[in-house]
Structure 1
Amino acid sequence: MAVDPALLNWLLDSDPALKWQVERDLAGAPPEQWEATRARIRTEGFGAQLLSRQDPDGQWAGGAYFPADFDFNGPEAAEDAGQPYTATTWSLNALREWGLDAAVLAGTAEKLAANSRWEYQGLPYWGGEVDCCINAFTLANGAWLGADVSGIAQWFLERQLPDGGWNCEWVNGSVRSSVHSTINSLKGLLYYEAATGGSPKPRAARHRGEEYLLERRLLYRKSTGEPVAPWVARQAYPFRWFYSALNALDYFRAAALHDGAAPDPRLADAIGTVRSARQGDGTWVQERRHPGRVWFDVDVPGEPSKWLTFHGTRVLDWWDEGHSD
């Protein structure tokens, strides 16, 4: 990929959790190089810090989705306080997305089966619960760690709404999909499919969910054609559970590569949104730190972000290569 040398050098001067991905996807490094960098996640930087926080019982912060000391009636539970990102599910998400070898966490799946229960009705960890986003994270994390999460995969088929997407508020009667719930559901299904080989029905459900977003060109309300919300164009990493054009495009790139498909033309407007956010020096600025408790930050709001620059550059290169003719 034709990445400016100065920008590439800046990106390569990163934590191993990011550097190996830059080497593989932007620098075109040979496998032995980026695999060696990836192996360092266990012992260096962000990965090592997060691994050191794991509890003896396999959890992080003593809880499944919320830390054990979270007060659901206290100030941290206020709507504008965000949510904590220190508990087990969020910690596993980060380690998996950074590329940690699952073998490093050998035995964790079994410990979580024995010791971790969802805050919702005390349900067993690998059985999932009723929230689409939580179940999507658990589906991917279970596939990564070798847990049996086939029941969660089936759950997504049963909870897909008539319009093709998903909504975490289905349990409260919602029959219209949410872009947040849908992108997280799709990411979980894709990871599970890639890890297990997949089967026709989950794959068809994934494609229906993709169509829900593509019909809206990732940005607009189908009913009015107006933008979904201002936050669609927001540049923020980690993505967490929040929908954005970049988060969605990152998914559609991965799905197209998995399916051996070309970029869908309906992604063009979202690509334009991401392209317009790129600064003159080729970087993207971290616009927001999603509020909530974290073990540590991986970026600084208001400054050029190596994480966003990596994801933005990779998405645009994928799109541009698919339209080089």
Structure 2
Amino acid sequence: MVQLTISTASKPPPFARGLPLTIDVAPDATIASVKAAIVAKYPKFKSARQRITLKGEKKPLIDETTLSDAFGGQFKDGAELQVKDLGPQVSWRTVFVVEYFGPLLVHPLFYHFPRFWYGQDVQHSAIQKYVYTFVLLHFIKREFETFFVHRFSQGTMPISNIIRNSAHYHILAGVFLAFDIYRPKYSATSPYIVNTIRNNETFLWICAGIWAFSELSNLHTHLTLRALRPEGTRKRGIPYGYGFNLVSCPNYFFEIIGWATIAGMTNSIAGYGFLAAAIWIMSIWAAKKHKNYKKDFGKEYPRGRKMLFPFVW
């Protein structure tokens, strides 16, 4: 057994004022067992709130890492780790559920109660019905994936971030998009719709086909990613196959196609605004994932694979 000291990287929370803590552990003990020892001493200091690092470093150590590996094989008496309180946490699954529920609530309110928002009834056009169906099916699919498909590498996030994360969907894909699309401008009797391509059945069916292709392709890539990570692990592998042979994040690429279809078929300012925001945010996510893939797998990772857009970027 080896004596390990656990000090604080910042001001300790009120329920762990007794830190630093010294415990006896085996070299093959994991970071998860260190967190458990802290919880045993300070029951309110839950594992999800703890970020464990080597002394003086900021990179968190994952739960599966052994102490021997964390210290590069030099784990001995006097070794020290630091713990930081991350504050109250909420599961990523809960965050996703809250994010996607917003548009599922907002769109029906605008679609079914137009008099409240626009001061008049709206005879819905075919394009409004299509978009309404697209949006609801998209977010129902996302909720389904949250419960039955996604496997999260990180268990929790600070509860304070849930508002920030949800705003993108609740405001842009929810309130702004719904308010713009279901207003009288797009109604069945509007000059913007009557005798235009937006009222052409063939055009609408083509848009529906492109949208359905993007959604099913997005689901397929999520299933591919799920198959790479056994349940209860943080294992990472190189994804191959449909979409992944061209870009690192085809799930984002296919989602962009879906929102671009809605923006293009309606020519909605809110639609283009949400599309622009989605491309910007998913580009940041894709860049980070692409970089991590290349860092983790080195020469094994396909050199010609782009980040987000096939053959381009």
TM-score by length of 1: 0.27
Q: Please tell me whether Structure 1 or Structure 2 has the larger radius of gyration of its CA atoms.
A: 2
Between structures 1 and 2, the one with greater strand share: 2
TM-score by length of 2: 0.28
